[in-house]
Chains A and B, each alone.
Chain A
Amino acid sequence: MDAPVPLLPAPAAADRLGPDWLPGPAREGLTSTPFGLYVHVPFCATRCGYCDFNTYTADELGPGAGRAEYAGTAIAELRAAADVLGPDRPTVSTVFVGGGTPTLLPADDLAAVLAAVRELFPVADDVEVTTEANPESVGPASLARLREAGFTRVSLGMQSAAEHVLAVLDRRHTPGRAVAAAHEARAAGFEHVNLDLIYGAPGETDADWTASLDAVLAAPVDHVSAYALIVEPGTRLARRVARGELPMPDDDVLADRYELADATLRAAGFEWYEVSNWATSRTARCRHNELYWADAHWWGIGPGAHSHVGGLRWWNVKHPAAYADRLARGESPAADRELLTDADRALEAVMLGLRLRDGLPLDRLSAAGRARAAEAVVRGLLEPGAHQAGRAVLTGRGRLLADAVVRDLSD
């Protein structure tokens, strides 16, 4: 055939969004597996020095990608998702709007996105709907609007109660603001409120950390996330550390801070349920995050968002303009995807399951892995009681060495 070769290859069938975008095998278990939606909002007022998330500080990024038009673009992908999933689209059990800073968008825009979810998908009666929020970007009015629109949970980035730590982290809010915002959220009717903390920032002392924990405990929250500061390559923080302006967080100090957090939070009635997450009860846990660790299904909306359905993982192009452009042309915004092999899934099961309070059934391990699990009990890394009952559950020391235990127990 002499047909002229096209200059640009036409999008492959897989790139056209439609019911056959999802390969058949990935549809298995679609209706029986819990399903969540993640909506990424890729905007921040300024970029914090430590942050390597996919977020942009410009408010005009190109057609369909500016803050003002963003909700509409995200809704376009929601529509496409509903299309791809087809008639047997699953019931949405959790929605998580994250960032970036979702609350840089008007509350009405977030409400519109949620309304679209309800229009396009069946939604569970007890759906959990979380938004992340920066303390300085919410107030009583916007929180009330979000609650009214159906949001059930707010996660606030507090990071620290110490002014100098907030400064080192380039945070824009004042020390008291996060706790105040938590009170406002409660007042607006949110039953579930979380505060995020970061420990081990340069200059943070044990006393600063104790004060941050105390401040959180004095706030009306039922959930706390505490993360060890990670110096991510390519960030301003990494450059300052490389230049010697700031010290690298010390692993022993990070371990001390973790232990302090765990003890303080437990004494106040918070139990760990994932390495970095504590909640006052089972119902206070973030069900959306549990979905990730339980290897359930979720569709990630927005630039750079990651999805998983039936062993297929894919992730969207990172730049909001490229993302909007793909959608405008009716193409999938996916940058790439991978179909997990059985070996991948087995490895991931250990990697994800071990981080949880509920742990991992021992029968998910290979014979060699089970033998090493028995050794790990002896070495004080796994709970003996849980092991007896057939589960691998990390001890306090084990949580701090979780990655090493995962390497050990997986094949």
Chain B
Amino acid sequence: MAGTVTTPAATDPARIRNFCIIAHIDHGKSTLADRMLEVTGIIEARQMRAQYLDRMDIERERGITIKAQNVRLPWRPESGEQAGTEHVLHMIDTPGHVDFTYEVSRSLAACEGAVLLVDAAQGIEAQTLANLYLALENDLTIIPVLNKIDLPAAQPERYAAELAHIIGCDPDDVLRVSGKTGEGVPELLDAIVTQIPAPEGAADAPARAMIFDSVYDIYRGVITYVRVVDGRISARERIKMMSTGATHELLEIGVISPEPKPVDSLGVGEVGYFITGVKDVRQSRVGDTVTLQHRPAEQSLGGYRDPKPMVYSGLYPIDGSEYQLLRESLDKLLLNDAALVYEPETSAALGFGFRVGFLGLLHLEIVRERLERESGLSLISTAPNVVYRVVMEDGTERTVTNPSDWPGGKIATVHEPVVSATIIAPSDYTGTIMELCQSRRGSLTGMDYLSESRVELRYTLPLGEIIFDFFDALKSRTRGYASLDYAEAGEQEAQLVKVDILLQGEPVDAFSAIVHKDKAYSYGVMMAGKLRELIPRQQFEVPIQAAVGSRVIARETVRAIRKDVLAKCYGGDITRKRKLLEKQKEGKKRMKMVGRVEVPQEAFVAALSNAEPSKTGK
């Protein structure tokens, strides 16, 4: 079987191009990827399932790419110096959302170049910009491309100028394509070959490959995606994970084109997958370096980091008897999500549940949605909070991931995580956006006009201030025109306090929150007011208080119920009365007791659901 130059493991690195596509949500990344599969002939048009590469249901429904997928495309350029020579293009489909910045950065690190894809009717957005900065930090070659040029509303001239301004190229260098019609796609593939550098690596050195994705498959166990940097990895060798030293037998090694295809080995610059039979993505972590056991590399490729949860929330089954199912479902998700952490937690108000750590809000939403969809659970989640570092006056330090664990003693300083945020919007909204960011304790770090009418604002903001409803507030104040992106940027000291909500003097753990001292009052008034509406009247008066320590900052009262009797003539229909009574008694059983106060589960759900994270569909 005479292989061609593009046969895996026999490919001259000079013929390889590794690239990714950076795009804002809905700017057409998946559609363009589909067109590339078609144009390169690895999949026929009639087999084309729209958005071939977004495999998970949630992705398809939300139109977001959560898990990176990669694909190997053969391409013989028609233009340029390499015209007529067959090449191998590895397209690495990066996750697009800020929660997955670390994974994005690993995907970028597997490439030499990036296609910067911008909707010709929308222009560049914050997310694009953030990922562009990441790509530039990784020294990637950027190919600017305007998509959707078939749209009547497209303004290619205007946005070509904007792109050129940002990356410092000539507007004429900006390519124009339509993922819908396929126009310009072959030219783009040609440009990838001519502009993006070929990978470089030491073919004879000990093997080193970087893991840029790792997914769990129920049939095959964990499938790990790698980019080989040095040496060669062959089937049936033992590999070694450099972060842990763990070794595994390689059961299969292959490429995706676009279905998995086993190969003998992968060499310098190549991208492919391997399977070792491990069942948990934690054993094959994104960012880790893979080497061979019998001839290990000395130095890892660097850049590996344990995923760090940034946002915590309590997840409780609405029906307490589903606790075990929730545990099993989380265990299952864990196989495929190295970033998820959780531990059992008990809430007086909500019963048994889990404290779960997430990379960010989107991650939280996706996990919650998958639990509900895949396991049929109904969940209630407590208001999300960030992780605080509390230094006590005696010098000891605590990490607080749950407001209930806020230390009671004398606190010296509190440190909260901050993010650097990028907001892009029409310049008319500059004032409103600044007001919003100020109200969220933001500080402006930079401002640039992308064009006469569009502005980029850079802020440092406490993460805790943007996990509630920041994105919704931003969208509504800018009529939906603003886009937001952020990345963690260390921590800052802040004047934070814990606000407790008490029913008849009993704190309700699910409602405690850590807020800035200037906002304690408004949080307290808001929560107490909400609960007054939600808590049914009891046989006695129920005071609702919001307190910081022992100081009460807001107070409401649920007046005692005076009438709870059906004072009507029902004649002989005793059955109806008894059935009604039985129903009421059932309802009473479902009440949660807070001290003497009976609170229906629905009241907790309603009080917490309004404080839920904004739907972050950027």
Contacts and interface: CB of A to CB of B under 8 A. Distances in A.
A134 B400 CA distance: 71
B569 to A, nearest CB: 6
Contact of A403 (B559, B571, B572, B584): B584
Nearest to A313: B575
B568 A227 contact: yes
A236 to B, nearest CB: 17
Interface string A335-352: 000100000100110011
A351 B583 CA distance: 13
A324 to B, nearest CB: 21
What is the size category of the interface that chain B forms with chain A? 20 to 34
Given A251-B561, A410-B585, A276 B567 contact: yes
**Main DSSP-derived SS at the A contact region:** mixed
A306 B578 CA distance: 14
Interface in A330-375: 338, 344, 347-348, 351-352
Contacts of A258: 563, 567
Given A403-B581, A407-B588, A38 B572 contact: yes
Interface in A284-319: 292, 298, 300, 305-308, 313, 315
B577 interface: yes
Interface string B562-604: 1111111101111101100110110010000000000000000
Interface stretch (A65-73, A123-131, A140-148, A394-402): A394-402
Contacts of B584: 403, 407
Contacts of A402: 564-565
B567 A227 contact: yes
Given A251-B561, A400-B565, A98 B571 contact: yes
A228 B566 CA distance: 8
B539 interface: yes
Interface of B: 539, 559, 561-569, 571-575, 577-578, 581-582, 584-585, 588
A329 interface: no
Nearest first, the 9 closest Cβ-Cβ pairs linking A and B are A255-B562, A306-B572, A402-B565, A228-B567, A255-B563, A404-B564, A251-B563, A276-B567, A401-B564
Nearest to A36: B572
Contact of A400 (B564, B569, B572): B564
Interface residues of A, number: 42
Given A251-B561, A258-B563, A407-B581, A401 B539 contact: yes
A225 interface: yes
9 contacts: A228-B565, A252-B559, A252-B563, A276-B567, A276-B568, A351-B578, A400-B563, A401-B539, A407-B588
Contact of A230 (B561, B566, B573, B575): B566
A347 B581 contact: yes
Nearest to B562: A255
A379 interface: yes
Contacts of A188: none
A82 interface: no
Given A227-B568, A407-B581, 19 more contacts: A38-B572, A98-B571, A230-B566, A252-B563, A254-B563, A276-B567, A276-B568, A300-B572, A306-B575, A307-B572, A344-B578, A347-B581, A351-B578, A381-B539, A401-B562, A401-B564, A404-B561, A407-B584, A410-B585
Nearest to B576: A306
B566 A352 contact: no
A251 B585 contact: no
A357 to B, nearest CB: 15
Given A98-B571, A306-B572, A403 B565 contact: yes
A276 to B, nearest CB: 5
Contact of A306 (B563, B571, B585): B571
A344 B566 CA distance: 20
B566 A403 contact: yes
B565 A401 contact: yes
